[in-house]
Amino acid sequence: MRHTIGVVMDNKPGVLSRISALLARRSFNIDSITAGPTRNHSVTRMTVVVEGDDYVADQAAKEIEKLEDVLRVERIVRGEATRREIMLIKVKATKEERGEIVDLAKIMDCEIVDISPSTLMLEHSDTPEKIDLLVNLLSEYEILDMARGGAIALKTGEEEEYIFQI
């Protein structure tokens, strides 16, 4: 099972690598890790997705929280957050298949970002479940290449303002 952990930390060199090294040393299975500055450029928000049960996710969050430069750690629970991933996927598209793939792209709300005589490249940003569904549907065709970004997530509702006042 995948669990999402939100981390707010100082935007300093090496913080991301210390967190990923810590999780690797403790044998946590990292599904994805993404990070970027917030509105306050001295603060970075990281989203870590780990594989395992609730205990594993709680332990990973506790370990991250102990690190210097980490300001806040929170488990991001489904239904209390918006979570998205992005993917580029290149599919072989014969003349006969091209229309079907374009129709599927429209239905799934994908962007066609590259087209060649024999391929289509789609971009899709959505929930991890819908990304998985798209990959499954496109597996009926020949998937030539795929790049999938890590999850990003924010809790829904009002955000604590201290992040932006540091």
Q: How many domains does the chain have?
A: 2
Name the 3-class secondary structure at 137. helix
Of 58, 76, 94, which marks where a domain is finished? 76
Whether residue 163 lies inside any domain: the answer is no
Q: Are residues 93 and 114 in the same domain?
A: yes
Asked whether residue 158 carries a pLDDT value surpassing 80, the answer given is no
Residues forming beta bridges with residue 35, ordered by sequence position? 46
Q: Is 78 exposed, middle or buried (0-12, 13-18, 19+ CB in 10 A)?
A: exposed
Q: Are residues 11 and 56 in the same domain?
A: yes
Of 21, 47, 76, which marks where a domain is finished? 76
Q: Are residues 46 and 17 in the same domain?
A: yes
pLDDT tens-digit series, residues 98-153: 999 999 999 999 999 999 999 999 999 999 899 999 999 999 999 999 999 988 98
Of 57, 76, 95, which marks where a domain is finished? 76
CA distance 76 to 102: 34
Q: Are residues 21 and 65 in the same domain?
A: yes
User: Strands across the sheet with 43-51, in order?
Assistant: 29-37, 43-51, 2-10, 70-76
Whether residue 157 lies inside any domain: the answer is no
Q: Which of 83, 82, 86, 89 is nearest to 104 (CA)?
A: 89
Residue 47 belongs to what domain range? 2-76
Going from the C-alpha of 92 to that of each of 13, 48, 106, 130, the distances in angstroms are 41, 32, 17, 21
CATH code at position 93: 3.30.70.1150
Higher pLDDT, 166 or 47: 47
Structure tokens at 85: 């991933």
pTM for the structure as a whole: 0.80
Whether residue 154 lies inside any domain: the answer is no
Structure tokens at 10: 């100082």
pLDDT tens-digit series, residues 65-79: 999 999 999 998 877
